[in-house]
Amino acid sequence: MISLTVNVNYSLLYQSSFKQSRHFFNLIRHPVAGFFHIFFRCAAIATYLFCGWFSKSFIANFITIILLLAFDFWTVKNVTGRLLVGLRWWNYIDDNGKSHWIYESRKSQSDKTVYPAESRLFWLALIICPAVWIVFFIVALITFKFKWLLIVIVALSLNFANLIGYVKCKKGAHSRLTRMAGDFFTKQIISRVRFKTVCYR
């Protein structure tokens, strides 16, 4: 009798977790972008961990991991950031040879809402993966595997470039919203003062 009760509870727990995960994925409005946002960075980490099982050639493993990291960098910078959270950063060089960094955020529109599930997926992957590469950096440094350390440094550079870029975009979006709210309240106060002045006349 006790065993039957435990089995029923486990079954209910499984059904509940399945429904929650299913509900979460139903909230993803851009499933392809969400998939590739995770796929390339997870594939790079998995290849780094398990490439020795399939190939003893460091050059082949190096090229494979760097390609996955490059695909991930381009996808996150140019596609998933714009679709999942409405943010974009980029760089251009003017005629004088000066480099300019641009951090943009999408304006609030009813048909282009940032969904919480997509935002959570984007930021979790963006933050967790650099933390994993930091662990790899420490391990490679302690074990004196300097050739693998080169791969980790490249991975950290690309991951942190996207992370810093999008954090600055996020800060820019918050400051813009604050400025817009301040301008709105200022206009409301001015309009009310003008209305009262007209009424007193």
3-state secondary structure 112-151: CCCCHHHHHHHHHHHHHHHHHHHHHHHHHHHCCCHHHHHH
Q: Mean pLDDT, to the nearest integer, of 127-134?
A: 96
In a domain, residue 5? The reply is no
Query: Is 195 domain-assigned?
Result: yes
Q: With respect to residue 19, please indicate whether it lies within any of the assigned structural domains.
A: no
Q: Which of 92-101, 136-145, 162-171, 187-196 has the lowest mean pLDDT?
A: 187-196
What's the whole-number mean pLDDT along residues 105-117? 69
Residues linked to residue 100 through DSSP beta bridges, in sequence order: 92
First to last CA, the chain: 86
Residue at 2 is within a domain:
no
Digit-coded pLDDT (tens) for 35-63: 999 999 999 999 999 998 988 899 999 99
- Give the residue numbers spanning the domain of 115: 30-200
Give the Cα separation of 147 and 50 in Å (integer). 16
Would residue 54 count as lying in a domain?
yes
Residues 6+ apart with CB under 8 A from 94: 100
Q: Is the pLDDT of residue 31 over 60?
A: yes
Q: What is the pLDDT of residue 28?
A: 78
Among 70-79, 149-158, 178-187, which stretch is predicted with the lowest mean pLDDT? 178-187
Q: Is residue 7 part of a domain?
A: no
Question: CA torsion sign, 163 to 161 to 91 to 72?
Answer: negative
The residue with tokens 């954090």 is 167
Which contacts (CB < 8 Å, 24+ apart) does range 122-126 have? Answer: 122/37, 122/80, 122/81, 122/84, 122/85, 123/85, 125/37, 125/38, 125/41, 126/76, 126/162, 126/163, 126/166
pTM of the model: 0.72
Look at the chain and report how many structural domains it folds into: 1
Partnered with residue 102 across adjacent β-strands are 90
* pLDDT tens digit sequence for 158-175: 999 999 999 999 886 544
Within a domain: residue 68?
A: yes
Q: How many CB atoms are closer than 10 A to CB 78?
A: 11
Residue 22 is assigned to a structural domain of this protein: no
Burial zone of 38 (CB within 10 Å; 0-12 exposed, 13-18 middle, 19+ buried): middle
What DSSP state is assigned to residue 108?
P
Per-residue confidence (pLDDT) for residue 105, from 0 to 100: 82
Task: Indicate the pLDDT class of residue 199, thresholds 50, 70 and 90.
Answer: low
Higher pLDDT, 175 or 151: 151
